[in-house]
Structure 1
Amino acid sequence: MQEHADTTIPAGFEGSAQAARLIEDIRAFIARELVPLAQRLGVDQEHGAERETLRAVWRLSHEAGFYGITLPRAMGGLGLSVVDHLLVKEAIYASGSPFAPHILGELSGPPRLGALVRAATPYHLEHYIKPVAQAQKSVCFAITEVQAGSDAGALQTRARRDGEHYVLDGRKRFISGSPFADCAVILASTAEPGSTEREVTAFFVDLDQPGARVESDYKTMAGQSSTGDIVLENCRVPVRNLIGEPGRGLGMALGRINVNRVLHCAGMLGLARLALDDSLKYARERQQFGKPIATFQAIQHMLADMATDLAAARGLMLATGRALDAGVAVRAEASMSKLFCSEAAFRIADRAVQIHGGEGIVQGRRVEFLFRVLRMYRVLTGTSEIQRNTIARELLGQPAQ
């Protein structure tokens, strides 16, 4: 990443001078490296990249100084504030690059390790965390199962101790990044058979070892194939791959849940900004009855509603980010942000399709893709209904489930 002597913060920018420089450098990196790469290989939102192409993107991002910036300073990261992280991520997604989720390694890199890095042993650091941070290995995070989605503790995947190994059996479902991951953080139950205890434990598992495989024979409604299932059958994992203490895996995994909920908002709103910008451009250019449709009040009102939704969502997201940076407990506010941002982003995409008319419902058009992908965010990373449950419990002073 190139250095800048100028530390001036652009007018109206909500973050630090460091974040402003990062955004400037990342935009230049996307234009210089990723746009030509995507054009040369035919990669876009509908046509994903091959595994080796993604590895090349991770290496390029690492060489440019971006891959791993979200890690703590002690591990080579920049120690970004939550607000700065939000603004950087929003700008990356607003670029429209099909490689946006890979610049910081969100699907396969350091952000996937989350709070688990605090329980890492020297062995974990050497064999997993450092290689991931340096774009030499990719990792995914596997908790979801057929019967364990919103109820994250209801795991059917089992891990039983057998001497110096744990033997894992089960199936993880809808695991982002698994089709191109080298290893996974697997959460499994270590409770005794028949026990009603929810003893959830975390392990590093190499996905090329015997007894582990990835099945990725389906796509999401957005047409992407970056999600798959991890199947574990008599998979023997050394005890040294245990992360933290037995039974503490779920607590560690959810240790940054409020931060993570807010960080997901930045991606949604970056995509919503794309939908608004595309709609403004189209409304100015599309002619009907001898004049641009931007002159019609019906179109103007939709654009106004889109801009208002975006401004309100960003305001809530950034306010929650500032509270997190100040050390304030924001359990309800984090859920409010995820709820409102995902719902508002989808409303923006819906109006974008309406403004584009027939062009907006043609597959391959960006607004049609944005409609599909932003619809997914109302389900991903905690459904809107789960967020409402959390908000209500906080308002009523009820204990978390």
Structure 2
Amino acid sequence: MNASLPSSGAPARPFEGSARAAELIARIEDFLHGELADLVRVHGIDHEHGASRELLRQVWRRSQALGFYGMTLPEAMGGLGLSVLDHVLVKEAIYASGSPLAPHVLGELSGPPRVGALVRKATPHHMERFIVPVARAEKAICFALTEAEAGSDAGAVQTRAVREGEHFVLNGRKRFISGSPFADFAVLMASTASDPAQREVSAFFVDLTQPGVRVEAGYKTMAGQSHTGDIVLEDCRIPVANLVGEPGRGLALALGRITVNRLLHCPAMVGLAAVALRDACEYAGRRRQFGRAIGQFQAIQHLLADMATELAAARALMLATARQIDAGSEARAEASMAKLFCSESAFRIADRAVQIHGGEGIVQGRRVEFLFRMLRMYRVLTGTSEIQRNTIARELLGELPG
């Protein structure tokens, strides 16, 4: 399989992954450009106007039936056992399609990627009640860590879980929780310390439909869609059996695959940046000023050249890091470098795409304008650029004397 570079007229390049990944990408692209494209057209879905909850469930169920939805699960649960490199390439291809339903093909906001890492700590109760229904696309789940005072400082959660007999009673508010407006369950982090000044964060499965919990989703992020909300807990009683792993080990569960998870956010940025570059090239070829296409002006050509170069560099770093992880390296610094560079570069690419579009680029409803906002968010989401720099520096310098 040969995959084309995202810019118009670019030479073909050999596919970097396995034959299995190439075949999977081809089938997913057929799904994106066939059934999902029809849904997008019929229901008027775009990057500003998302699908209804019921329509999303239809997408999840269909993706699960085709074998895409649970590909990140352990092989014993029907996962495909892909290498990190293949996973990165599949996800990049999904986002490079430009489909507004791209995040839902693998269930990234609300499906199997949210629970796959928990399987090793799951009890039979967890599997039957929460994980298997999510894997089958029967239920949706979100991951609830962030709070008003706990973002980059993940251990500072103020949501409390107090044990009373065979139940925990939860009180608090989770903030900016992706996928919560259409989730049935949450993997939720709460403090179980007897002293609020201590840090002892535990993980729980919470049914979002039960008494004492509600989702407030009356705000939008700068990306436009209402995929984000708050989870409010007021004397919410959950069985002790909903505790995941040992008390106080919630952050270890949440961050146990942080290196891989950081890297796996990069394909979305790279894929979206490829869409921005593709749109900019197409617009430069058809927009005419002073009697000729603006792509003939050197100023535009230099913008496009810089965009393509940064995209190639970001993509190369992403793929190199994936190969390192597959080879057994911890790659902590490299994963943070990839997240830092991909997010910053993708935003610069989107910024130049807006510049090339001129007045058309600053009109809401234009795809490049959405990409500008979406890619700006990635510099904050899943670990800010500053946190990535801290991680890189710590890996370079080691523990310094006080």
TM-score with structure 2 setting the length: 0.96
1:112 deviation in Å? 1.1
Deviation at 1:237, TM superposition (A): 0.6
Please show how residues 24-103 of structure 1 align to structure 2 within 5 Å: 24-103=26-105
Relative to structure 2, which stretch is displaced further, 69-78 or 101-110? 69-78
Distance 1:197 1:319 in 2: 40
Q: Is the 8 A contact 2:74 2:116 kept in 1?
A: no
Question: 2:304 matched to 1:303?
Answer: yes
The Cα shift of 1:193 comes to 2.9
Aligned to 1:227: 228
**Rounded Cα–Cα distance in structure 2 between residues aligned with 1:323 and 1:12:** 20
Matched residue SS, 1:333 = helix
Deviation at 1:160, TM superposition (A): 0.8
Aligned twin of 1:174: 176
User: How many angstroms apart in 1 are the aligned matches of 2:179 and 2:312?
Assistant: 31
Question: What is aligned with 1:324?
Answer: 325
Separation in 2, partners of 1:277, 1:118: 41
Alpha-carbon distance, 1:126 to partner? 1.0
* Amino acid in the other structure paired with 2:204: F
Structure 2 residue aligned with 1:376: 377
In 2, the alpha carbon distance for the partners of 1:84 and 1:201 equals 32
* Pairs aligned (count): 391
Amino acid at match of 1:229: D
Q: 1:9·1:16 contact (CA, 8 Å) conserved in 2?
A: no
Contact 2:318 2:338 in 1 (8 A): yes
| 1:130 corresponding residue in structure 2 | 132
Q: Are 1:273 and 2:274 matched, yes or no?
A: yes
Aligned residue for 2:202?
Answer: 201
Q: Which residue of 2 aligns with 1:237?
A: 238
Three-state SS of the structure 2 residue aligned to 1:97 is coil
Task: Report deviation, 1:9.
Answer: 7.0
Q: Aligned partners of 1:313, 1:208: CA distance in 2, in Å?
A: 42
CA distance in 2, matches of 1:174, 1:81: 31
Indicate the residue corresponding to 1:152 in structure 2: 154
CA deviations on 1:173-229 (whole Å, 9 max, x unpaired) are 0000000000000100000034x4311100000000000110000000011100000
SS at match of 2:154: coil
Which residue is 1:261 aligned to? 262
Deviation at 1:113, TM superposition (A): 1.6
Residue in 2 that maps onto 1:4: none
Letter in 2 for 1:22: L
Q: Which residue of 1 aligns with 2:8?
A: none
Q: Name the % identity.
A: 73
Match of 2:399 in 1: 398
Q: 1:129, 1:324 → 2: CA distance? A: 26
8 A Cα contact 1:114 1:253, kept in partner: no
| Counterpart residue identity of residue 129, structure 1 | I
Q: What RMSD in Å do the two structures reach over aligned CA positions?
A: 1.1
What is the distance in 2 between the residues matched to 1:38 and 1:90?
Answer: 20
Counterpart CA distance in 2 for 1:115 and 1:158 is 24
Structure 1 residue 392 displacement after superposition: 0.8
Aligned counterpart, 1:314: 315
1-side partners of 2:377 and 2:346: how far apart? 11
Partner of 2:14, secondary structure, is coil
Q: Does 2:355 match 1:354?
A: yes
Q: Which residue in the other structure is 2:368 paired with? A: 367
Q: What residue ranges of structure 2 are gaps of 5+ in the alignment?
A: 4-12
Compute the displacement of 1:327 (Å). 1.2
CA contact (8 A) 2:311 2:345 kept: yes
Cα distance in 2 between the residues matched to 1:107 and 1:222: 15
The answer on 1:15 being equivalent to 2:17 is: yes
Give the match for residue 145 of structure 2.
Answer: 143
Tell me the equivalent position of 1:187: 189
Deviations, residues 305-335 of structure 1 (Å, cap 9, x unaligned): 0000000000000111111111101111111
User: Amino acid of the residue matched to residue 38 of structure 2?
Assistant: P
Check the 8 A contact 1:9/1:17 in 2, yes or no.
no
TM-score by length of 1: 0.96
Is contact 1:202-1:243 (8 Å) kept?
yes
Question: Which amino acid is 2:206 matched to?
Answer: V
Instruction: String of CA shifts for 1:137-188, please: whole Å, max 9, x gaps.
Output: 0000000000000000001000011111111110000000000000000100
Equivalence for 2:343? 342
Residue identity matched to 1:249: G
Structure 1 segments, 4+ long, off by >3 Å, are: 8-11
